[in-house]
Amino acid sequence: MEHDKSGVSVGVVEKKVFTFAEPPNEMCMESGSGLGPLTLAYETYGNLNHEKSNAILILHALSGDSHVAGYYSEDDPRPGWWDIMVGPGKGIDTNKYFVVCSNILGGCMGSTGPGSINPKTGKPFGLDFPVVTIGDMVTAQKALMDQLGIKRILSVVGGSIGGLQVLEWCLRYPEMVVSAIPLATTPKHSALTIAFNEVARQAIMADPNWNKGDYYNGAKPDLGLAVARMIGHITYLSDESMRHKFGRRLQDRSDFSFNFDADFQVESYLRYQGSKFVERFDANSFLYITKAADYFDLTRRYDSGSLVKAFSRAMAKFLVVSFTSDWLYPTYQSKAMVKAMKKNGLDISFCEIEADWGHDAFLLPNERLTDIVKGFLERVYNETES
């Protein structure tokens, strides 16, 4: 199947890698550990202008990767995870902007993570991989942007755990970030969110194949990871979306089975999501990424005790977006950020979008979201260029 590349897709794209922090110049992690060499998988779309002023950095969520748009081949049936937003003429217009997206440190889609080979042992790191923070992920991304020669980023954009990275960028490297678009995100995880993540982690660690993280040469903890994904997937949806999509409808049957098969459509759906996830994701990466997200707390990280003081470091223009049915990172958390930003006199736009699809709404087609992202970026770009 040939893909239309005119205004529909960026077309065929290529995954690239950047390796840095070669010993003895290892990257210092927030835990105090040193790590190197490090590799980040990344992709770029569009062209960097002569002034290098049109770069947009997109930051992915838990299960995402560097493949944000386009296709890997002419017959690739699956586009990048945000192809609806990134491409020629789209909300993030690759005719106008140079877009960069990298797989996070600790991930399993080409970047260094617990499944990578430890150069000191010749075996996969497993739990010898140091615990990663959102700040560590951003430090690694900064090295990539330095390698690309980008000193000022027109906008950093991301939702969910990608949004945590957006906020970290704005406070860790405030002089580099012209604008920021944190979507469906939070300045720190609530007890509820941490609880869901912990149950998911326990599901993985309870799988006998997990073997304390040392499973790379044998059977993998697929059942545990599948259950972890099922738990997570519930939090990405909403009561309204599940009622609309599934209700209490039965799956391929007219009556109950009176056993523990998947009687209901929602049961079948969750089992399918779990089984598909284990084909492409590493269980240890799931543990590390969720732990990094749980540790994230802007007020603690910047030793400020308050969001107002934390955002006193920021210099970016902000577009903050939340969704009405998102109960994982509900709107009140976005409003707390907006209030703190306003008290610092920052240029801030806020929009709560009416959407029934829960936390995942930022990944789904939404004309209003596309329009406000496109308009915000055009305003920032025009103000920067004038």
Backbone dihedral angles phi then psi of residue 93, each to the nearest 5 degrees: -85, 110
- Secondary structure of residue 125 in the 3-state scheme: coil
| CA dihedral sign of residues 223, 357, 363, 137 | negative
First and final C-alpha spacing in the chain:
43
Catalytic residue among 238, 326, 334, 360, which?
326
Q: Which residues are within 8 A (CB) of 14 and not within 5 positions of it... i.e. 6 or more apart?
A: 43, 72
For the chain, give the longest Cα–Cα distance.
69
> How far is residue 4's CA from residue 52's CA, in Å, rounded to a whole number?
28
> How far is residue 191's CA from residue 181's CA, in Å, rounded to a whole number?
25
Catalytic residue among 207, 238, 359, 360, which?
359
Q: Are 354 and 234 in contact (CB under 8 A)?
A: no
> Helices H, strands E: what count in the chain?
11, 14
- Secondary structure of residue 376 in the 3-state scheme: helix
Q: Which residues are within 8 A (CB) of 64 and not within 5 positions of it... i.e. 6 or more apart?
A: 81, 162
Active site residue 155: no
Active site residue 3: no
Q: Quick one: how far is CA 39 from the chain centroid?
A: 18
> How far is residue 306's CA from residue 337's CA, in Å, rounded to a whole number?
11
Catalytic residue among 160, 179, 322, 325, which?
160
Q: Are 163 and 186 in contact (CB under 8 A)?
A: yes
> How far is residue 54's CA from residue 377's CA, in Å, rounded to a whole number?
10
> How far is residue 161's CA from residue 183's CA, in Å, rounded to a whole number?
9
Q: Compute CA distances 356 → 91, 182, 267, 324, 327, whole Å.
A: 21, 20, 20, 7, 11
Q: Quick one: how far is CA 22 from the chain centroid?
A: 26
Q: If residue 273 lies in a helix (H) or strand (E), which one and from where to where?
A: helix 265-277
Q: Are 318 and 372 in contact (CB under 8 A)?
A: no
One-letter amino acid identity for 150?
Answer: I
Active site residue 189: no
Residues marked active site are found at 160, 326, 359
